Amino acid sequence: MAATGPRDIPAGGFAVHRDAWGVPHVRAADELALARGQGYVTALDRGWQVEVDRWRAEGRLAERLGEPGLAWDRFAHRVRLADTARRAYAALADDDRAWVDAYTAGVNEGLTRGRDVPELHALADPAWPGGGDLPPHEPWPAWAPLGVFLVAHVLFSGFPHVLWRDHVARTLGAAVARSRPDVPLTDVLDLLAVDGGPGSGSNAWALAGARTRTGAPLLAGDPHRLLELPGVYQQVRLACDDYDVVGLAFPGVPGLPHFGHAGAAAWGVTNAMAHHVDVVAERLNRTADGGVEALGPVGPEPADVAVANVRVRAAGGPVEHRVETVETARGVVVTGGPDEPDRTFALRLPARVDADLGVAAWRRLLRARSARDVTDAFATWVDPVDRVLAADRGTVLSVTAGRVPHRDVSGRALPLPAWSDAARARPWVVPPGPVVVEDVAVDANERPACPEIDLGHTYAPPHRARRIRALLDAAGGDGTAADQSRVHADTLLGGADDLLRWLDETEVDEGVRGIGTGGVAHRRHPASVRAARRLRAWDRRMDADGADAALFAAWRSALARRVAAHPALAPLHASHGLDPVFAPWLSVTARVADALSALLDAAWLGIDGAGEAWSALGEVVDGLGDAADHDRAEPDRTGAAPVWGDTHRVLGLHVLLDVPGAVVPCVPSLPLGGDTDTVRCTASVPGISDVCVRGSVARWVWDLADRDASRWGVPFGASGDPRSPHFADQLAAWADAETVPVVTDWTLLRHEETR
């Protein structure tokens, strides 16, 4: 719908208004002025964040932050991130390029004020190695917004999981093949098949009009990502004579590509968990003239080689670090190389193959007037592959969007050998068209029921999807935007029973003591038996004030550590030999925690599930002492039982956390309910830490009957400046899984001078 409201805007100009939460509402007469205004207000509110992502896109993070930025810079150059963004920018249609250019001009204008933040001034602190000068403002290159989008998504695909499965096959798989040749490799891979890890997950659901109080559809959901500080998404409104859209933007990227409400139409996405990036095992050799050749399907073939010199900030002046980048006929080499032959892998990235990031879809979405307009816009979507829910006032549609190569399931599990026909490029899958949702639709990264959109290898467990559907069914046909918080806030842990079944009481001898650590299976200490009874009686809710939830989490962590250290899994601890940027995806303890239930069932591997479960509980009971017998926390009593929120708290992942001596902006440490696989996703890493570093990076509810009845929220606040009152003013509401109102009445907003 076209914007109404303030009209005293000069030609080519824009105006900025704010609501009570500091959310920017940008108004302009035309699309290009509006794009410039969006760029301006983004740089003003998120100056540090967008500059950091621009440095990441250029592979220049270490130049500013020193050694902690080097691993990323090496990866950015090897994946040829900036070059991919340049190619995609050069291939844009003229009108799309003009739109991106207007946004970039606004960013450069806004950075004249937006760079005045503590973090940028800290870079000039002489106490830092190499400090003493404030980094000069360097205008953004035209392609930078596309580079920032790549920064947010280049590691969002499933390819790091392929690297993990390759590690499993080479280590545990090889060991099993020697000792148990009757066990196929697929069984070994299936043991650790849950694709958790950084970046995965999201919830989205739709209620058709028959299921709502107003008779018009509702869309809602929450994307799950690393809880970066400032936040991954920016609440914003973009209004001009042609359209008026509220939604969640990526700071540094124009438009509202993932979540938006245009009045008559709305949309939201989840990760489709598709296998859209081919991983190819390469064999590279140096040639006599210093070049590199790769072994392809018909023999050796030349590879493209370039060298980047990465400057690393250090005391006494920057140090140059040489990064060789190689691209074969199959893709960019991201780890290994001609001098590291053991594990060399290339990626075939759809965005690089087609020199296309889907920018046309970003712009077209803003003009959507119907659910069909939304799905038509997503027809040109590229990366990542998403499940899309779209609605207008009478229709809800579901569609899968993005570019996925034709591969059968066996071709998605492990890297493809470059020297075989299997690694040849495949045409993109043509997914089925939009499906009309007559009742309820739920997407939560589970394996889809429709084979035509089953484009991945492994998916999230089905617990979140089942729970959301059950909560929606319980509400009947009376859904409202306000009551969707009941779904967002749910803390029922669907997978708890898969673990708790190992704490049965068969063959219990209550007179036998000493299970503690290293006890004998099926002979349990009375305190452990009482703790097990508590857990079996527990309501399976991971509430912040739950003592039983805390006991379960402590037991699960102890169990993850025990199983990860089991001799049967010792091969997994061998060095993976991959680039350091992939380390989070190759943490053995984290991967074991994701796959605990399957591993406990693996008697053929030599793991005694009941023995490990009871021994882990004994460790926890020994550590808790008398508190293990308390039914609930009693803060005034010595020895009161701990509750889940004591250790389950949010940690904003600021880029300066890894920089020695840096003063890091922080947010209040609030107790959190929820867990990795609850609808209220507040993920921790069992066996490593209860601290929440990944979870809902936004919550949104779009009401198609009345946009002003819609709701939204982010973990921290609208501003990225730690001095702002809006830096973390939404945190308390987010911790309670609440949202704040969407306000679109211009008379209720505060006008802000932009010069």
Q: For residue range 44-96, list pLDDT tens digits in order.
A: 999 999 999 999 999 999 999 999 999 999 999 999 999 999 999 999 999 99
Q: Are the C-beta atoms of 614 and 577 separated by less than 8 Å?
A: no
152 backbone dihedrals φ, ψ, rounded to 5°: -75, -15
386-392 and 265-271: which strand pairing?
antiparallel
For the stretch 636-683, pLDDT in tens is 444 578 999 999 999 899 999 988 878 889 999 999 999 999 999 999
- Positions of E strands within 304-366: 304-312, 319-327, 332-337, 340-348
DSSP annotation of 79 reads T
Q: Confirm whether pTM is higher than 0.75.
A: yes
- Judged against a pLDDT cut of 70, whether residue 688 lies above it is answered with yes
**Over the stretch 407-466, which tens digit does the pLDDT of each residue have?**
998 899 999 999 999 999 999 999 899 999 999 999 999 999 999 999 999 899 999 999
pLDDT exceeds 90 at position 251: yes
Q: Where are the alpha helices (DSSP H) in 569-681?
A: 588-594, 596-600, 609-624, 644-647
Given a cut of 90, is residue 360 above it in pLDDT? yes
C-beta atoms surrounding 183 within 10 Å: 15
* Angstrom distance (rounded) from CA 334 to CA 346: 6
Single-letter code of the amino acid located at 591? R
Return the closest-CA partner of residue 213 out of 487, 477, 474, 485.
477
**What's the pLDDT score for residue 290?**
87
Provide the pLDDT confidence category of residue 271 given band limits of 50, 70 and 90: very high
Measured CA to CA in angstroms, residue 720 lies from 119, 586, 594 at distances of: 10, 31, 33
Residues 6+ apart with CB under 8 A from 739: 485, 488, 699, 700, 701, 711, 712, 713, 733
- Tens of pLDDT, residues 713-749: 999 999 999 999 999 999 999 999 999 999 999 999 9
Q: Is the pLDDT assigned to residue 224 strictly greater than 80?
A: yes
What single DSSP character describes residue 606?
T
The pLDDT assigned to 631 comes to 53
* Nearest in space to 105 (alpha carbons), one of 59, 139, 133: 139
Q: Give the pLDDT confidence score for residue 735 in this predicted structure.
A: 97
CATH numbers and ranges of domains, the chain: 159-194+495-539+545-647 (no CATH), 204-270+358-488 (3.60.20.10), 278-352 (2.30.120.10)
User: If residue 487 lies in a helix (H) or strand (E), which one and from where to where?
Assistant: helix 485-488
Residue entry with tokens 């509810």: 701
% helix / strand / coil in the chain, to the nearest 5?
35, 20, 45
Over range 283-289, report the average pLDDT. 93
- pLDDT value, residue 623: 85
Peptide bond between residue 230 and the one before it cis (omega within 30 degrees of 0): yes
Go through the chain and tell me how many residues it has.
755
Calpha distance 702→378 (Å, rounded): 19
How many beta carbons lie within 10 A of that of residue 419, not counting itself? 18
Confidence of residue 541 (pLDDT cuts 50, 70, 90): very high
